[in-house]
Amino acid sequence: MSDLRELLGGLVSEVDAVFLFSPSASFYESFEDVDDALVVVVAPDDSVGAEEFVELPLEFSDVSSRVRYGVEGAMDQELVDDGDEIVCAVKTFDEDIDTVMRVKASNFSPSGVYGLFVNSRAEPAVIRDVLEVAVELGKKGQKGKPVGALFVVGDAGKVMNKSRPLSYNPFEKSHVHVGDPIVNVMLKEFSRLDGAFVISDSGKIVSAYRYLEPSAEGVDIPKGLGARHMAAGAITRDSNAVAIVLSESDGLVRAFKGGELILELDPEEY
């Protein structure tokens, strides 16, 4: 048994930081005496009262996105440096923390998933709400059939000037915000319309039925994605918006920023 301890002890030796993902209060308390490494809590809310804390906007179901977000967030807050070695304690299958992994901070860049939420024009909560709507839509589809949808979030003034209406805007003179309970239903109904949804920095739904007309020059998105993704990539390159796309063909939710694909989620996993 002691051999096994020695073998696995190498996993946690000489690390600079320990990241606890959504720890329970007692689990966090048992780490209070750790002196030789920084203890960082990554969770949707700081329920354990940790000093070093990175807020998770979304309970990413796959572990790598969660770790990526946590490490990128800690780098952005300058809790860890580029060359640091980090041990992450995460939940994978269980309700409790059951996985320990060791990662290098240099493998991540702060412009990734963390930047999508925190360093965008729109508020993090708005982006999270839109992602949730897209995931929900991807899970259920419209009357059982898969649907596609394109949401452009933030920098709405510029986006409106780089697009034209395909038909009358059903959201004209309305003041609905994403995250209102009624909106999920409304967006589901309107998702069968063609064109994009435009959402402002504060989450107000400005318009549906928009045909985006950005210049698609120099947009680098993976080959094989359709016109909807191309439009999403291009509009984020041409403005400071974030685009969230639900693909009709493969059912994945993708987020674009600055013309690049940043995040890919499978709605079935949530």
Partner 1 sequence: MSLHEPVLRYLTSSPFLAASAIFIVGLISGYLLGQFVKRALRAIGLPGVVEGTAFERSARGLGTSTVGLLSQLVAFSVYLGTTIAALDVAGVLVMAAVLPFFAAFLPQVFIAVLAVIAGLVVGDKAALLVSEHLRGVKLPEAGLIPTLVKYSIFYIAGLIALNQLGVATRALLILLAAYVFGIIFLGGLAFRDLLSAGAAGVYLLLNEPYSIGDEIRVGDRTGIVQEVDLFVTHVENDGTEYIIPNQQILREGIVRIRD
With a CB cutoff of 8 Å and minimum separation 6, the contacts of 88 are: 18, 19, 21, 67, 70, 71, 99, 100, 101, 102, 103
Cβ burial, residue 145 (10 Å; 0-12/13-18/19+): exposed
Give CA–CA dist 242/161, Å, rounded.
16
136 binds partner 1 (CB under 8 A): no
Identify which range of 88-96, 154-162, 215-223, 259-267 contacts partner 1 by CB under 8 A. Answer: 154-162
157 contacts partner 1 (rule: CB under 8 A): yes
Stretch that binds partner 1, among 49-57, 141-149, 170-178, 224-232 (CB under 8 A): 170-178
Work out which of 202, 215, 268, 269 binds partner 1, going by CB under 8 A: 202
- Please check whether residue 256 is in contact with residue 240, taking contact to mean a CB–CB distance below 8 angstroms: no
Q: Which stretch binds partner 1 (CB under 8 A): 78-86, 99-107, 198-206, 229-237?
A: 198-206
Nearer to partner 1, 84 or 155 (CB): 155
Residue 168 within binding range of partner 1, rule CB under 8 A: no
Residue 172 makes contact with partner 1 by CB under 8 A: yes
Residue 131 engages partner 1 in binding (rule: CB under 8 A): no
User: Which residue from 152, 155, 190, 254 is in contact with partner 1, where contact means CB under 8 A?
Assistant: 155
Residues 5, 143, 145, 173: which binds partner 1 (CB under 8 A)? 173
Task: Quote the tokens at residue 130.
Answer: 């839109």
Among 152, 206, 241, 265, binds partner 1 (CB under 8 A): 206
Cβ contact 57:115 at 8 Å:
no
Q: Give the pairing of strands 38-43 and 17-21.
A: parallel
Binding letters toward partner 1, positions 54-83, x by CB under 8 A: ------------------------------
**Which of 33, 68, 38, 64 is closest to 53 using CA atoms?**
38
**Separation between Cα atoms, residue 269 and residue 58, nearest integer Å:** 13
Selection from 154, 116, 128, 95 nearest residue 260 by Cα: 116
* Closest distance of CB 1 from partner 1, Å: 47
- At 2, the amino acid letter reads S
CB of 66 to partner 1, least distance (A): 24
Using CB under 8 A as the criterion, which residues of the chain lie in contact with partner 1 when the complex forms? 155-161, 172-173, 175, 198, 200-202, 204, 206
